[in-house]
């Protein structure tokens, strides 16, 4: 387990993933019934962009820094959550998915977070200790669907966000999706993945299309042409059972986001792998 998210916090991939999470929560909260949020690979929850790791890569400068100060209406919730961590207008702290969701959820909602790395797991516990709605587990992320589902709350948002250090993480994502749907068919499940090796991704899409998912919306955002499998050309999220209204919002924001975050090239894709 070499991956540490502190090197990548706030990069273009975090922006897409975290903006999508923000919108899923906002759209789910149109109803008052409690929501459970599960993060199978949670990280530490909160990142210092002036910390040693973040400064080593400076990835956030091509990510959240490019959005900072924007008045784009669909970014209001997301940027507000980030600004709550920062004094004045200076961008220094960035929320990982646990802290972002913690800020956006209500008293009736619950968060179940899992992180396997022992040091990062302890940091996550410390960062979340003030909030009684949060439970932190320090176990294997791939066991989470079997261990925690079904949740007491009937409405579930789950993020599956592994580090992709292992060659079979894409297949493990499909298996985790299947295991989750077998226990909670109505769950909203978000699978994050890097856009690197296009041939590998093609197999991933085929496996997803053969899955038992009732619906799967695919979103991808590119900051380079996807023609070099050794670099992070972009990122994607497959959303099972996306909340009503998300597709429209994506269609509105993706062109702007692709233009704002592009590096050597920019682009996006939005389509259904399995239509509703």
CA distance 276 to 268: 21
Torsion of CA 227, 229, 235, 241, to 10 degrees: 100
Active site residue 58: no
Q: Residue with CB nearest ligand SAM?
A: 96
Residue 161 touches ligand SAM, criterion: CB under 6 A: yes
Q: Nearer to ligand SAM by C-beta: 179 or 265?
A: 179
Total binding residues for ligand SAM by CB under 6 A? 20
Residue 101 touches ligand SAM, criterion: CB under 6 A: no
Residues 14-53 within binding reach of ligand SAM (CB under 6 A): 17, 39, 41-43
Candidate list 161, 227, 271, 276, residue with the active-site label: 161
Residue 36 has a CB neighbour count (10 Å cut-off) of: 22
Q: Nearer to ligand SAM by C-beta: 80 or 154?
A: 80
Residues in the chain: 276
CA angle 165, 168, 174 (to 5 degrees): 120
Choose one: 51-59, 80-88, 109-117, 267-275; the region binding ligand SAM (CB under 6 A).
109-117
Per-position x/- string for 128-157, each x denoting binding to ligand SAM as judged by CB under 6 A, each - no binding: ------------xx----------------
Shortest distance in whole angstroms from residue 185 CB to ligand SAM: 24
Residue 59 touches ligand SAM, criterion: CB under 6 A: no
Tokens 């209500």 — which residue?
106
CA distance 171 to 193: 11
Choose one: 110-118, 181-189, 197-205, 246-254; the region binding ligand SAM (CB under 6 A).
110-118
Of 117, 137, 155, 218, which lies in the binding site for ligand SAM, with binding defined by CB under 6 A? Answer: 117
Of 115, 157, 160, 170, which lies in the binding site for ligand SAM, with binding defined by CB under 6 A? Answer: 115
Residue ranges that bind ligand SAM, judged by CB under 6 A:
1, 3, 5, 17, 39, 41-43, 96-97, 114-117, 120, 140-141, 161-163
Residues recognised as catalytic:
161
């Amino acid at each position: 387990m070499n991956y540490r998210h502190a090197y990548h916090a706030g990069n273009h991939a975090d922006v897409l993933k975290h903006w999508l999470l923000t919108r899923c929560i906002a759209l789910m909260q149109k109803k008052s019934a409690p929501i459970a949020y599960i993060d199978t690979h949670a990280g530490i929850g909160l990142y210092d962009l002036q910390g040693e790791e973040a400064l080593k890569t400076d990835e956030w400068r091509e990510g959240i820094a490019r959005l900072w100060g924007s008045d784009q209406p669909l970014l209001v919730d997301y940027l507000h959550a980030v600004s709550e961590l920062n004094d004045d207008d200076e961008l220094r702290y960035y929320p990982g998915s646990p802290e972002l969701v913690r800020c956006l959820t209500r008293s009736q909602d619950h968060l179940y977070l899992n992180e396997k790395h022992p040091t990062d797991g302890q940091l996550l516990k410390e960062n979340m200790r003030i909030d009684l709605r949060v439970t932190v587990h320090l176990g294997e992320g791939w066991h989470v669907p079997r261990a925690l589902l079904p949740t007491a709350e009937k409405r579930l948002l789950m993020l599956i966000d592994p580090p992709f250090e292992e060659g079979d993480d894409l297949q493990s994502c499909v298996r985790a999706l299947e295991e989750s749907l077998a226990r909670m068919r109505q769950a909203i499940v978000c699978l994050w993945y890097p856009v690197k090796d296009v041939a590998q991704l093609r197999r991933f899409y085929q496996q997803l299309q053969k899955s038992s998912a009732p619906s799967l919306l695919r979103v991808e955002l590119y900051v380079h042409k996807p023609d070099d499998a050794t670099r992070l050309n972009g990122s994607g999220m497959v959303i099972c059972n996306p909340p009503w209204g998300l597709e429209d919002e994506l269609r509105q924001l993706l062109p702007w986001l692709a233009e704002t975050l592009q590096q050597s090239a920019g682009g996006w894709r939005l389509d259904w792998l399995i239509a509703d």
